[in-house]
């Protein structure tokens, strides 16, 4: 239920203050930055949109997707937006003064309903530019919605969102970059960075008392589209998610919309990478259960309360393509998972 613009603005202000505190104050060594986002609705529920792989200055239907996001965002009275990365094509931002920031973000997502905090991770295309520019607080002075960090946590009372920097996991970006340059400042050496990140994530997830645990990254864990499964994430990141009872893994990278159910754990995989250029025309099944796949542009909504999570996928005309709901009958019992025979 809508609570009015004043409540939404107050929630946004609190989120921005939390970001400032997380960035300016000393935190415990090794701890992931933690932001607090208190749901503004009277019933305590949470609504948000998820979009990925979008920053093309309005082209490739980015503007059309943005328009429909605004309409759905108003209808759902969203609390915030999640970006699954590849925020600026083709090669990230040049610096904090790059006009691509306004041309692909501020000037595109103009609907009133989208004037909420945006929590963003970096994608591989973002790392091909000046990655530190996207992480800079200078951008928040230009557009205060833009909250981008490498890895961090957003707590919304009954749900914890764990944002994970997945690009460094991909070994070929380090060993075979081709014509591309990756900005590894603050990341290299790879092995130490990944080991520390996984340790911090494991510790944070173990400490979490949230009813829902949702992990967000750029790269696919499971996908039937162009990039397919990411073997490094399956080997290194997935065991941490399984060990700590993650409910959902949400990503971009493949320019499509899809839902895949794990056959050997309760985890559900959602790809929302249809923010602009799409229609790859690739389909390569994996061993898990494909529930939905759409090769075009669009975005996802998520509505949550303590008992239920509802996912919707939308296309560029705002049509609901797919809807899926998960319920928790007890805590911390996860949703039932598929057996190998289904």
The structural domains of the chain, with segments of one domain joined by +, span 6-327
* Spatial contact of 87 and 105, defined as CB atoms under 8 Å apart: yes
- Determine the average pLDDT of the residues in 225-238: 97
Known binding residue 255? Answer is yes
97 counts as catalytic: no
Is residue 40 very low, low, confident or very high in pLDDT (cuts 50, 70, 90)? Answer: confident
Q: pLDDT band for position 24 (50/70/90)?
A: very low
Residue 124 structure tokens: 């591989």
- Is 253 assigned a ligand-binding role in the annotation? yes
Residue-level pLDDT at 39: 87
pLDDT mean across residues, the chain: 90
Cβ neighbours of 327 (radius 10 Å): 9
Q: Which fold has domain 6-327?
A: Purple Acid Phosphatase; chain A, domain 2 (3.60.21)
Strands 80-83 and 118-120: parallel
Look at 38-42, 100-104, 144-148, 238-242 and tell me which has the smallest mean pLDDT.
38-42
What mean pLDDT comes out for the span 245-260? 98
Tell me which of 181, 227, 259, 331 is the catalytic residue. 227
Nearest alpha carbon to residue 156 among 314, 303, 5 = 303
Q: What is the mean pLDDT of residues 262-283?
A: 96
Supply the pTM of this predicted model. Answer: 0.90
**38 labelled as ligand-binding?**
no
Asked if 273 and 256 count as a contact pair (C-beta separation under 8 A), the reply is yes
Are the C-beta atoms of 53 and 277 separated by less than 8 Å? yes
Distance CA 22, CA 125 (A): 26
Determine whether the annotation assigns residue 259 to a binding site.
no
The residue assigned the tokens 């610096």 is 95
For residue 329, what pLDDT is reported? 75
pLDDT tops 90 at residue 270? yes
Query: For residue 274, what are its two tokens?
Result: 């249809």
Report the candidate in 75, 152, 138, 80 with the shortest Cα–Cα distance to residue 109. 80
**Distance (Å, whole) CA 262 – CA 255:** 21
Distance CA 274, CA 1 (A): 28
> From CA 108, how far away is CA 120, in angstroms rounded?
16
Three-state secondary structure string covering the chain: CCCCHHHHHHHHHHHHHHHHHHHHCCCCCCCCCEEECCCCCCCCCEEEEEECCCCCCCCCCHHHHHHHHHHHHHHHCCCEEEECCCCCCCCCCCCCCCCHHHHHHHCCCCCHHHCCCEEECCCHHHHCCCHHHHHCCHHHHHCCCEEECCCEEEECCCEEEEECCCHHHCHHHHHCCCCCCCCCCCCCCHHHHHHHHHHHHHHHHHHCCCCEEEEECCCCCCCCCCCCCCHHHHHHHHHHHHHCCCCEEEECCCCCEEEEECCCCCCEEEEECCCCCCCCCCCCCCCCEEEEEECCCCEEEEEECCCEEEEEEECCCCCEEEEEEEECCCCCCCCCCCCCCC
247 is an annotated ligand-binding site residue: no
Q: Binding residue per annotation — 53? A: yes
Arithmetic mean of pLDDT, 152-170: 97
Cβ partners under 8 Å of residue 103, min gap 6: 57, 58
- Residue in the structure block whose two tokens are 């494991």: 202
Instruction: Give every CB contact of residue 80 below 8 A, 6+ residues apart in sequence.
Output: 15, 37, 48, 116, 117, 118, 119, 154
pLDDT confidence of 2, banded at 50, 70, 90?
A: very low
């Amino acid at each position: 239920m809508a609570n009015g613009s004043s409540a939404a603005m107050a929630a946004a202000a609190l989120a921005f203050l939390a970001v400032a505190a997380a960035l300016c104050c000393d935190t415990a060594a090794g701890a992931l930055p933690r932001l607090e986002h208190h749901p503004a609705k009277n019933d305590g529920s949470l609504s948000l949109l998820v979009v990925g792989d979008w920053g093309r200055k309005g082209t490739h239907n980015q503007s059309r997707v943005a328009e429909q996001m605004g309409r759905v965002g108003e209808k759902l009275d969203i609390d915030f937006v999640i970006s699954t990365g590849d925020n600026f094509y083709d090669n990230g931002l040049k610096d904090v003064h790059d006009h691509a920031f306004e041309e692909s973000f501020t000037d595109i997502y103009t609907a009133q309903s989208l004037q909420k905090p945006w929590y963003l991770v970096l994608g591989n295309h973002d790392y091909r530019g000046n990655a530190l520019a996207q992480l800079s607080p200078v951008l928040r002075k230009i557009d205060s919605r833009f909250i981008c960090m490498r890895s961090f946590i957003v707590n919304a009372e009954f749900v914890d969102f764990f944002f994970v920097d997945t690009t460094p996991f991909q070994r070929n970006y380090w060993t075979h970059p081709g014509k591309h340059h990756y900005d590894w400042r603050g990341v290299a050496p790879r092995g130490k960075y990944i080991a520390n990140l996984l340790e911090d994530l494991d510790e944070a997830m173990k400490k979490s008392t949230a009813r829902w645990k949702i992990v967000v990254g750029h790269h696919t864990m499971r996908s039937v589209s162009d990039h397919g499964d990411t073997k490094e994430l399956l080997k290194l990141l997935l065991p941490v998610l399984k060990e700590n009872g993650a409910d959902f893994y949400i990503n971009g990278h493949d320019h499509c919309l899809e839902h895949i159910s794990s056959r050997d754990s309760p985890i559900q995989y959602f790809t929302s990478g249809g923010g602009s250029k799409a229609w790859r025309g690739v389909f390569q099944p994996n061993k898990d259960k494909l529930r939905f796949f759409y090769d075009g542009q669009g975005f996802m909504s998520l509505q949550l309360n303590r008992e239920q999570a509802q996912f919707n996928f939308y296309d560029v005309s705002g049509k609901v393509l797919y809807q899926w709901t998960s319920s928790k009958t007890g805590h911390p019992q996860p949703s039932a998972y598929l057996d190998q025979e289904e």
